[in-house]
Structure 1
């Protein structure tokens, strides 16, 4: 009987030992998984134009596959952008929890793509440090969205041009958006016979923050003698042309960004030009008359001298 009890005791120990080891192993091992997805999927898109929110976010789901409660720490790398996220989170055994990671860019940040990386570590399991290292990570692309904006300036808003000449008017464009852009150019003016106008180019391009320039060619009329006379005694004619600039990027985004400027041109003709022309004709006429009168006087003198000589010979 005693030998049977000994055998039964030994068998009980042999069967119980594996169960204890398995239970101990399951309770000690830490594990964690992580998945981050922006709303709607894809990437985190951040608008940085003036007045925009400048921010975006992603939703992360952390899972605890163990049979014990885990305290999980959270770290975020954001490629230089400001972020907001919880420092840690507690997840029940076999459970999962969501947390939000927000990212913020500076206003007018150049258009580009950056990376947001979220990493989690098991800090505690059932209130004690885990015997093993357990971690997981997830990454999202952050797109800094491009916006269109520009300024255009005239070198001379009001310009005076003399008749009979060809001129070039300069205009300067600055791309104040946050990325490369193309700009369409156009002119509008009345159908007048007084001068002609054209652009040297119908399109210019500029990197963000840089300047570009373009010109309008003006062929002034040759004669303005029938124009009104101003206070300075000049014949003048005033006209306006509209210089129109449009961002191609702005139109691609569905809201065309267009600006226009009014260039005032005053054509003039000095009245001295007419006076000089008239005085030349008068001078020519007077000179001709002097020559005629001069020639007639010489002939008369010669006739008198000849008459005197003939009278003297007759008397002798």
Structure 2
């Protein structure tokens, strides 16, 4: 039997076995991994898409999205570019680039090469959106966003939370808290509910900077380069809408926004997740490894967020799926170097 009990000693800075010896022991070669990945892609991507939402992966979902080529359609592409700039102006990024310290702030202030800001009085208007054919209209701008219900989500959630705090009956207390958490994960977003999500202590933006500071000077752990975004409210609201009903223009906006916000390189491999959820039990949700997938990262992140929100619903699978909250309790998206 393979005994791994002595790989590490009490001094965590020293491994009993070198990386080379570990690799030799595990007998994993780059060629074997490449062959496995090729076989996995060949067989898994050709399987039928399940009618159970929770068994659909992000790449399968994106393959069903409407595709409209707007190249050369000046007005549509102009609106996309302007909306992306509006969203970039709202994006906050934490970046760990493998060096001591980190940057955190508005996306333009994090990188001195970003000099394009949204000009004043250039916001996309509802009149401009309504001039487009219905199938090409975006579902969001930096200022406007579609919702399922009316405003007031945050007030309703706070009222329910206040009732939870004031209630003494344990059963009623649990009922109120469960419904507060369920609503936080699935209802339309407003400024209050977004601010509540921002306080989630389990989200990676809270603990990863502390981890970096704690272990950076250790030679034992390998930390991937990481970018954590506080997702602008209009973008995150799209995860509370029906994913399959969003317009092709919306998907292009979110893809282009993520390309620029995360400064993606189409030749690199990435691991993606939200602040608390990656749905990585189907690794196609988390692992990005070719140019086409890098271009579609926005669609994948949005689907993972939508799927997480759907966990809070009752039985969307038709198979007695319980209501599970927590997977959507974050306002962060993450792109990490794949190691």
* Rg larger in structure: 1
Q: TM-score, normalised by structure 2?
A: 0.15
Q: TM-score, normalised by structure 1?
A: 0.16
Q: Give the structure with the larger helix fraction.
A: 2
Q: Give the structure with the larger strand fraction.
A: 1
